Structure 1
């Protein structure tokens, strides 16, 4: 499974940003047809708005991807310590290039299932478009919770099952088989139940087949 994920993100490294940001006509058509027109750019803005402009703590970004959505935000948080982690070597290489001038940002290759961080070491854990790709989602939820301080915040967005039949078909028959997504996938109610067991406060929203939220430990 690990090799399949590495291969999938290696093969898509040249189109990854274009698809997420809808930079071309074909990317916009793909989003309109298969994702009900959900705008990843708008979701990214809402997710990043959870992070204060004067944040100065420790933030883990997992998976960082190519940092296409986060580079400007991370650049502006010069008083923070930001750790960007991704399993894909191709993704982390592009992220490193984007934030190479930021001494407060470090980029490392690693596994969300075994985060190289101490318990309670982070004020914020951000996970954009990650959980639908993680092979062991239970371990990913536990690890992101483990590294958060009490009162720390888990902020995320990713695909959920059961909101749009065409999106579910695409994820099951194409994206999962290629290795970009990894089952099983949670429904909205299943995800809420998991988060409510782990966190004391939740701000939860859906946009088509995407969910975005902020939780307080």
Structure 2
């Protein structure tokens, strides 16, 4: 599951996603026979589109608050949803300029959406700014995961929702081998990686309500502050 990334001060991430920008969406959406083989063999057939739709369903269709999408990636999964939420204030943030440029290409005609190049370890927002923080496929790439959890929590309002998904280790030997020997060396993923048990401990420590599920080696969740 080759995925979008927003890093915390690591230029290897920018380089890795610059190099993969032309194949990124194809892999995520299984747009070719080879990408389907890759997903089925290494990621146990996990459907990224289905997981993304489950996560986005946590946001009501009439939502009118502030959403932080970090990392926005290319907005390949969020484009339709973000365009429909015309009453919301949506902030799309990514560390990779290449990913952010592709997201702008999809969403720049929407006046309720803004774009920020920045670091999840030092978010440029005041405490409690956001009603929802969405982080799809970012935490397995963030170099400093503790800062990322702390910052996404800090900018969330009390009662707000933290939702998202990312790779967790320990679910599939084949996936773990891919992540360790290829994706990490390419700069797309950054250790250390959480297990499901680790993730639940972190989420329950930070949030008052936690709903967490797994699909293959991907954990997806909805938490309330």
Q: TM-score, normalised by structure 2?
A: 0.96
Q: CA deviation at 1:100?
A: 1.2
Consecutive unaligned residues in structure 2, runs of 5 or more: 1-8
5 Å-filtered alignment, 1:5-84, equals 5-84=13-92
Question: How many residues get paired?
Answer: 217
CA distance in structure 1 between the partners assigned to 2:43 and 2:105 by the alignment: 30
Q: CA deviation at 1:179?
A: 0.3
Structure showing greater relative contact order (alpha-carbon pairs closer than 8 Å, 6 or more residues apart) = 2
What is the aligned partner in structure 2 of residue 178 from structure 1?
186
5 Å-filtered alignment, 1:128-207, equals 128-207=136-215
Aligned CA RMSD, in angstroms, stands at 0.6
User: Residue by residue, what CA displacement relative to the aligned partner does 1:97-152 show, whole Å, maximum 9, x if unpaired?
Assistant: 10011000001110000101100000000000000110000000000000000000
Q: Secondary structure at the match of 1:67?
A: coil
Q: CA deviation at 1:3?
A: 1.5
CA distance in structure 2 between the partners assigned to 1:134 and 1:20 by the alignment: 19
CA distance in structure 1 between the partners assigned to 2:132 and 2:48 by the alignment: 21
CA distance in structure 2 between the partners assigned to 1:206 and 1:3 by the alignment: 30
- In the TM superposition, structure 1's runs of 4+ consecutive aligned residues that sit over 2 Å from their partners are none
CA distance in structure 2 between the partners assigned to 1:114 and 1:74 by the alignment: 24
**1:117 aligned to 2:130?**
no
Q: CA deviation at 1:2?
A: 1.2
Q: TM-score, normalised by structure 1?
A: 0.99
**1:4 aligned to 2:6?**
no
Q: Secondary structure at the match of 1:107?
A: strand
What is the aligned partner in structure 1 of residue 111 from structure 2?
103
Q: Secondary structure at the match of 2:116?
A: strand
Q: Secondary structure at the match of 2:74?
A: coil
CA distance in structure 2 between the partners assigned to 1:21 and 1:45 by the alignment: 12
CA distance in structure 1 between the partners assigned to 2:99 and 2:42 by the alignment: 24
Consecutive unaligned residues in structure 1, runs of 5 or more: none
